[in-house]
Amino acid sequence: MTTTPGSVAQTTTGVAAGLATLYFLRPVLIPFFLAVLLRILISGIVSVVVRLLPRAPKWLVLVATAAIVGFTAYSIFIITLQGISDLIQQSSDLPAQLDRLIRSAAVGFGRKFDLATVIGLIDLPQLEHSLAAWLGNAVSMAFLTLMFLVFMLLGAMTNTEPKILRITTSEARANSQRLVLNKIVHGVQAYLISQTAINLAIAVLSALVFRIAELPNTAFWAVTVFLLAFMPVVGPFVASVVPALFAALHSDSITVPLGVFVLTLSIFQIAHNLVLPKLQAKSTNTDPLVGLFALGIWTLVWGVPGAILSTPLTVLVMVIAAQFQSSRWLAILISHDGAPDAALPPSPAEK
C-alpha cells in the first residue's frame, strides 16, 4: 500500500471536520455514541451466550441481556448522582482534615503548609454551581441515551441487515460493505467485552480495599473506579487519588489514605500491565502516547464523557480507518504494533 500526500491531506481534513461536528453537536452525539457502544456490547454478550447456550432463543437472550445491561447502567447512574451529592456535602470538611494530616506527617521537616488557605483560593460556590449544571445535563443525557438504545434494540429485532447495505445497487459492493461493517463491529466488541470485564474486576477488588479502609459509600467509589478505568494513564491515577483523599476524612492517621492510594494503584497496574494484554486482541491495543493524546482531544471536544469514552472511541476510529486504503495510515499510527487489524477476530461472514 502506498500512502499519497493527497490521501493524507484528505483524511486529515476529514478528521478536523469530524471533530468540529462532534463538538457542536455534542448534546445529541454523546448519548447517541453511548447508545451505540451499549448496543455493540449487548450484541457481543448475546453472541457469547448463544455460543454457550445454542438452544436458547436468540430473542430471549437479547431481551434478557438488554434488561441486565440497562438495569446496570441505571444503577451506575443513580449511584453516581447520589455519591456526587454526598461528596459536595463532605467537601467543606476535607481541607481542614487534610491539613491536619499533612502537618502531623510533616513534623520534623521544619516547614509549615496551610492547605486550607490554598483551597480557599478556589471559588467553591461557582464550583458547586458548575456541578449542579453538570448533573442536570447528565440526567438529560441519560434519558436520550436510553431512548436511542431502545430504538436501536427494536430495530435489531425487526431488521436483519443495516439499512446502509440496502443503499448500494451492486451485490458485490454490498458484500464488501458487509465485511467491513462486520470487522468494525467485531473489533469494537472485542475491546468492549474484555475492557468491561477487567474494569469490573478492578472495581470489585478496589471495593474490598475501600471496605477494609472503612471508606463510606463504597458502591459509589467502586463505580467511580469502574468508569475511570476506561481512561488511559490519567484514569488509574485519579481513581487512586480521589478515594484516598476522602479516606483522610475518616482517619486519624495518614497511613489509611496512603494505603488506599497504593493498593488501588497497584490493582490497576497489575490488571492493565499483566492481565489485560492477554485478554485483548493486539488490534485493540492503541499506542500509549496516542491514547494520551486522544484523551486530551476527546476531553476537549466532549468534556468528562469524552474522557471516559476516549479509549473506546479511539479504538472505533482505528478499526474504521483500517478498513479503507486512504485512511489506513491513520490506523497504523494509532495502533501499538503497526498492524491495526492483524489479530482482528474473524466475523461470522468470514468463517
How far is residue 240's CA from residue 165's CA, in Å, rounded to a whole number? 46
The closest of 225, 185, 159 to 42, measured between CA atoms, is 185
pLDDT at 326 over 70: yes
Quick one: pLDDT at residue 282? 47
Helix ranges (H only) for the chain are 5-24, 26-52, 58-90, 94-105, 115-120, 124-158, 164-167, 171-212, 218-228, 234-247, 255-270, 276-279, 288-321, 328-334
- Region class of 233: left (phi > 0), else alpha (psi between -120 and 50), else beta: left
> 65-80 pLDDT, tens per residue?
888 888 888 888 888 8
Task: Considering only residues 246 and 224, tell me which one the structure prediction assigns the higher pLDDT.
Answer: 224
> 7-33 pLDDT, tens per residue?
667 667 777 777 788 888 888 888 898
The answer to whether residues 308 and 231 touch, using CB atoms and an 8 Å cutoff, is yes
In the chain, the amino acid numbered 318 is: M
The closest of 146, 166, 143 to 154, measured between CA atoms, is 146
Average pLDDT over residues 85-105: 64
> 116-129 pLDDT, tens per residue?
555 555 555 665 56
Planar angle of CA 171, 177, 183, nearest 5 degrees: 140
Confidence of residue 283 (pLDDT cuts 50, 70, 90): very low
The closest of 198, 147, 157, 204 to 62, measured between CA atoms, is 157
Contacts 24+ apart (CB under 8 A), 2-8: 3/328, 3/329, 7/325, 7/326, 7/327, 7/329, 8/329
How far is residue 253's CA from residue 257's CA, in Å, rounded to a whole number? 8
The answer to whether residues 186 and 349 touch, using CB atoms and an 8 Å cutoff, is no
For the ranges 134-143, 175-184, 325-334, 335-344, the one whose mean pLDDT is highest: 325-334
Task: Considering only residues 82 and 134, tell me which one the structure prediction assigns the higher pLDDT.
Answer: 82
Average pLDDT, the chain: 76
What does DSSP assign to residue 114? -
- What are the residue ranges spanned by the domains of the chain? 27-108+123-160
